[in-house]
Amino acid sequence: MSTPTPVWIVGVGMTPFGVRRDASVKDLTRDAVTEALKDAGAQLSDVQAAYFGNTCQDVLEGQIVVPGQMALRTMGFERVPVINVENACATGATALHQAVLHLRAGAADVVLAVGVEKTNVDDKRKMLGLFDGGVDVHDTDGVRAVLRELGGDVPTDENVPRSMFMDIYAALARSHMNTFGTTKDQLALIAEKNHTHAVDNPLAHFRKAMSAAEILAARTVAEPLTVPMCAPLTDGAAAAVVVNEAGLRRLAAARPVRVLASVLGTGSVRALSDWEHSVSRRVARAAYEQAGVGPQDVSVAEVHDASAFGELLQTELLGFCEIGAGGELAASGATTLGGRIPVNPSGGLESKGHPMGASGLGQIHELVQQLRGDSGIRQVPGARIALAENGGGMYAGEEAVAAITLLGS
């Protein structure tokens, strides 16, 4: 495999994540992009192409087909290509992936990737219904059959607004518990860690520490998951300015972070119990190969913890521990700040929040700060290599899309 063209992230920006009823998609986009440009020492006119990630505005506001043009031209972008990206909860990482490919193709020297979401509206059923399209809507019986095979009974009360994806994570968790002896207490420890990490993140949705006991005692969403183990519906935006060598020279960026690998993938036919061939596992291996590193080299990671079980599973699939040992890894303290491999120092999706189109770029914002040594009390000492895992949708018992990004200082 040939060595990819060098690419760097030279600027990042992120709004506070939370319930932002006072801010529109355009407002959130402007704030994140303006901050990223300032961080890069760039002007709007330096950007030669933009990838705009969003998953919900068409459903919630009716802004279909050209959301990126509407948001970016409003703040002054003209003439440059604006490409709209929608790829489930991996939309933000996909926007970055496309920006990296654009640069490696030699089509531009400076490219913007931005993700934005405003999910909080007055209709809760409509908000939660966003997730219904993340599975095969023409084979709902097949979807439920997979969930039953994984973890038993599936709720069918259509009168109760709910996110199908918490049923999916719950079924996966029950299967893991039955197979490997993972416990609900271990899931609570992961959630406790992430709520603790978020206390010192000024951009996080939730900034209140919670004990494992409080998390276990909270309302059940879908057994074994309680509310604090699950990511909230969040509004927010995040952006990154990405450059090749020519762009790096042009902007004279002071603190570039190298993109060591950017890999995107989908799944393959496999047995539900065959985690060795899962999409995240395969994409992670490809990313490690592209970067010339292994899981043992990773200093810090941000993973897609739409639920606490999501983090547990991804620590296994990324190679931070053996398959089946994610609960033990979490209970050991290894994934906590100060541990062997800190995971989600931002608070993760559970606490930092999950504005779907922005979540992947929110992870990149955190990791760029970590590699620059700018994370304050949340800083991982001597961080040199960082990994972001961002996934979304569900097909045949695993993510419909998985994205892995490796960054180096």
For residue 9, what pLDDT is reported? 98
- Model confidence over 257-278: pLDDT tens digits? 999 999 999 998 898 889 999 9
For residue 1, what pLDDT is reported? 55
Residue 268: Cβ within 10 Å count = 12
Residue 236: which of 119, 61, 91, 72 has the closest Cα? 119
pLDDT over 80 at 310, yes or no: yes
Give residue 133's Cα distance to chain centre.
18
pLDDT over 70 at 409, yes or no: yes
Token pair listed for 383: 């961080």
Residue 308: Cβ within 10 Å count = 31
- Model confidence over 361-408: pLDDT tens digits? 999 999 999 999 999 999 999 999 999 999 999 888 889 999 999 999
Q: Which helix (H) or strand (E) holds 238?
A: strand 236-243
For residue 134, what pLDDT is reported? 73
Give yes or no: 89 in active site: yes
How far apart are the C-alpha atoms of 67 and 64, rounded to whole Å?
6
- Enumerate the domain spans of the chain: 8-121+233-251
**β-bridge mates for residue 117, sequence order:** 236
How far apart are the C-alpha atoms of 205 and 233, rounded to whole Å?
10
How far apart are the C-alpha atoms of 50 and 47, rounded to whole Å?
7
pLDDT over 60 at 145, yes or no: yes
Q: What is the β-pairing status of strands 385-392 and 300-302?
A: parallel
pTM of the full structure: 0.94
Average of per-residue pLDDT across 215-244: 96
Strand order in the sheet with 385-392: 82-85, 49-53, 110-117, 236-243, 8-14, 257-265, 401-408, 385-392, 300-302
How far apart are the C-alpha atoms of 364 and 402, rounded to whole Å?
15
Residue 366: which of 299, 311, 314 has the closest Cα? 299
**β-bridge mates for residue 239, sequence order:** 13, 114
Task: Give the angle subtended at the CA of 72 by the CAs of 67 and 77, to the nearest 5°.
Answer: 140
For residue 101, what pLDDT is reported? 98
- Model confidence over 76-125: pLDDT tens digits? 999 999 999 999 999 999 999 999 999 999 999 999 999 999 988 777 77
Catalytic one of 176, 205, 354, 365:
354
pLDDT over 70 at 155, yes or no: no
Q: Which helix (H) or strand (E) holds 40?
A: helix 25-40
pLDDT over 70 at 162, yes or no: no
pLDDT over 90 at 60, yes or no: no
Q: Band the pLDDT of 61: cuts 50, 70, 90.
A: confident
**β-bridge mates for residue 401, sequence order:** 392
Catalytic one of 56, 89, 230, 321:
89
Q: Which helix (H) or strand (E) holds 66?
A: none
How far apart are the C-alpha atoms of 105 and 7, rounded to whole Å?
11
Q: What average pLDDT does the structure give for the chain?
A: 93
Q: Band the pLDDT of 283: cuts 50, 70, 90.
A: very high
Task: Check residues 348 and 128 and name the one with the higher pLDDT.
Answer: 348
Q: Which fold has domain 8-121+233-251?
A: Peroxisomal Thiolase; Chain A, domain 1 (3.40.47)
pLDDT over 90 at 157, yes or no: no
**Residue whose pair of structure tokens reads 């509004």 in the numeric block:** 235
Give yes or no: 354 in active site: yes
How far apart are the C-alpha atoms of 134 and 227, rounded to whole Å?
21
For residue 161, what pLDDT is reported? 57
